Structure formats: structure tokens, C-alpha cells
């Protein structure tokens, strides 16, 4: 069975600047390499789902510019349905500048552009009916996410919220969320409970449940991912690899996860392991979209579990 996935999210042209280390305040450093590629959390998640053979639709917004056409074409190249992307004449396509150090860690500066200009008039939700999952993040306005999640519930579509970048969540969005997937920093910000060990992860999941969110996955970087549903709770260790670039690792995880997840979440452990394997491949490559693996690559990968 092929999952049908809609992604409401950001479309950014990414410029990656490679540096030996991150600069100190007021310091000037030389850039050893400069690359430009399609990206944005929404685009990354959609491509990850599509490359894992999910039937994927994108809902979003670009400017009427060359960058916007580049983003649309990048999605089309991976078979993503782009018919629900609005072209905005008032603002430029979103972009991101990524500082990447020699250890593969990054710092990212984002210009929201058209992503932040989505309104009720430009948000096209006509294709939600019939989808299995709707994914969104916070690189597009939360009111758009709220409208989309309301429509998803009306259409019987399960919702996945990636609360990144971390912000306070609109209270109305919480009971409309079927699965929340933060990293440890985002989870702690939202619950007030620092993520340090398995007990604190379970406490975070319990806090989310009180907020009205029944299912939780907390990603903790190179350590792995914690998952909690009504019937399954556990921790999936990360695969042991040498990371070159962590850009899009979390997005790859979410898109790959959604491509495999059953509607009753009964296979949460297997889907989490698949998503972890996908992310382990992404971090061994450079760039956002270019680093995301296909289903065949994920299945054939033979990484050692930590």
C-alpha cells in the first residue's frame, strides 16, 4: 500500500557556505566552498516522502521569480504534485543561508519571503480529501497550519506537526494534531521539561498527551529517537555514521516516517527505524534536497546501530 501524503510548508533556495568553524561575534572568516540548492523544511519533507515512494502533494507559496520556478521544478523532478502551490507577485521566494562547519554542524539564517505571505486566499486545500497524512512545520504561518489541520480533520486525514523552528503553538492547533515530532530542544521549549534521559522523554510525551496530542516522537540527534503511542513506547538508537552535513536530517526523518507509517500507528517502531536509517544516509551527504535518499538506498543501507 502506498501512503498519500500532503505537505504544507516552506520552499527555500538554500545557499550553503562551508567554513572551518563558526565565527565569533564581529569576526570575519573565509568561506571555502559555496553551493546553492533547493531546500526549505517543507520541500525537504515532501522530497523525502516522495523518494520513499509515497504519493506526495505540496501546498505552499513561492514568488513570481526564477527562484520560485527552480523550487517548483525541483519538486516536479521527484514526482511531487505542485498544483497547489501559489505564485505570489508581491514578495520573493524564500531563501536560507546555511553556515556549515568542518564537523558537519550548521547554523541557518532563513528569509521567509513568500512562505510567510500565505493567507486564507492563497492557501489551496482542495486536494486534502483522500490523503493519509498532512505534515506541516513552522516555516509557514501557524494560522495556515490551523486552517489546514481543521480541513484535514473534516476530511479524515491524520495530521503530523513538526514544531520547527520552535515557537509557542496556537492552542487550537494542539487537539487537531495526531502526531507531534519535535527534536529535544523544541520539545523542552513546548513542555517546559528538559530532555535528558528516557524518563524525561516519557514525561514530555505525557505532557503532549495532556495538551491533546496522542502520539509523540522526539528526535535526539545522533542518539536516536523516542516514540510513544497509546500502545507502543520505546527508544530507537541512531545508526552509527560519520556526519558530514546535518542539514535536512530531521526533515528526511519526518518525510520517510510518514511514507511508512500505518494509519493506526501500529508500526511506529518499524517506521521510526526506517526513518532513522534514512536520516543516517542524509547526514553523510552535503546539501538539503540532494542528500535525501531513495527507498532503495534506505533498504539496502547496512549501517551499524549504536
- Measured CA to CA, the distance from residue 114 to residue 116 in angstroms comes to 5
Q: How many CB atoms lie within 10 A of CB 269?
A: 15
79 assigned to a ligand binding site: no
302 assigned to a ligand binding site: no
221 assigned to a ligand binding site: yes
91 assigned to a ligand binding site: no
Query: Active-site residue among 65, 251, 262, 296?
Result: 251
155 assigned to a ligand binding site: no
247 assigned to a ligand binding site: yes
112 assigned to a ligand binding site: no
183 assigned to a ligand binding site: yes
63 assigned to a ligand binding site: no
Residues in CB range of 58: below 8 A, 6 or more apart:
6, 7, 9, 11, 42, 43, 46, 75, 80, 81, 82, 84, 85
159 assigned to a ligand binding site: no
Q: Is 251 an active-site residue?
A: yes
269 assigned to a ligand binding site: no
13 assigned to a ligand binding site: yes
251 assigned to a ligand binding site: yes
215 assigned to a ligand binding site: no
291 assigned to a ligand binding site: yes
Q: Residues forming the annotated binding site for K(+)?
A: 245, 247, 282, 285, 287, 291
Q: Residues forming the annotated binding site for substrate?
A: 12-14, 40-44, 139, 251
Q: Residues forming the annotated binding site for ATP?
A: 183, 219-224, 250-251
| Residues acting as catalytic residues | 251
Amino acid at each position: 500500500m502506498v501512503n498519500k501524503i500532503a505537505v504544507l510548508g516552506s520552499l527555500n533556495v538554500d545557499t550553503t557556505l562551508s567554513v572551518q568553524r563558526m565565527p565569533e561575534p564581529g569576526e570575519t572568516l573565509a568561506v571555502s566552498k559555496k553551493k546553492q540548492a533547493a531546500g526549505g523544511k517543507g520541500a525537504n519533507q515532501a522530497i523525502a516522502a516522495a523518494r520513499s515512494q509515497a504519493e506526495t502533494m505540496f501546498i505552499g507559496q513561492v514568488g513570481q521569480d526564477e527562484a520560485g520556478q527552480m523550487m517548483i521544478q525541483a519538486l516536479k523532478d521527484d514526482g511531487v504534485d505542485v498544483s497547489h502551490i501559489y505564485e505570489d507577485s508581491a514578495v520573493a521566494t524564500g531563501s536560507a543561508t546555511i553556515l556549515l562547519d568542518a564537523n558537519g554542524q550548521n547554523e541557518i539564517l532563513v528569509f521567509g519571503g513568500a512562505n510567510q505571505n500565505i493567507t486564507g486566499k492563497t492557501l489551496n486545500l482542495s486536494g486534502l480529501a483522500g490523503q493519509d497524512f498532512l505534515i506541516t512545520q513552522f516555516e509557514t504561518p501557524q494560522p495556515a497550519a490551523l486552517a489546514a489541520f481543521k480541513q484535514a480533520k473534516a476530511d479524515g486525514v491524520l495530521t503530523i506537526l513538526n514544531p520547527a523552528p520552535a515557537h509557542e503553538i496556537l492552542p487550537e492547533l494542539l487537539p487537531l494534531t495526531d502526531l507531534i515530532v519535535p527534536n529535544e530542544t523544541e520539545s523542552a521549549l513546548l513542555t517546559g521539561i528538559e530532555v535528558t534521559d528516557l524518563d524525561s522523554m516519557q514525561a514530555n510525551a505525557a505532557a503532549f498527551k495532556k495538551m491533546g496530542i496522542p502520539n509523540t516522537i522526539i528526535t535526539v540527534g545522533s542518539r536516536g529517537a523516542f516514540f510513544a503511542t497509546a500502545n507502543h513506547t520505546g527508544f530507537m538508537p541512531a545508526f552509527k555514521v560519520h556526519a558530514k552535513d546535518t542539514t535536512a536530517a530531521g526533515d528526511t526523518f519526518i518525510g520517510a516516517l510518514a511514507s511508512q507509517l500505518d494509519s493506526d500507528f501500529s508500526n511506529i517502531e518499524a517506521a521510526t527505524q526506517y526513518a532513522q536509517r534514512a536520516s543516517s544516509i542524509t547526514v553523510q551527504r552535503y546539501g538539503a534536497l540532494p542528500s535525501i535518499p531513495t527507498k532503495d538506498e534506505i533498504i539496502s543501507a547496512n549501517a551499524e546501530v549504536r
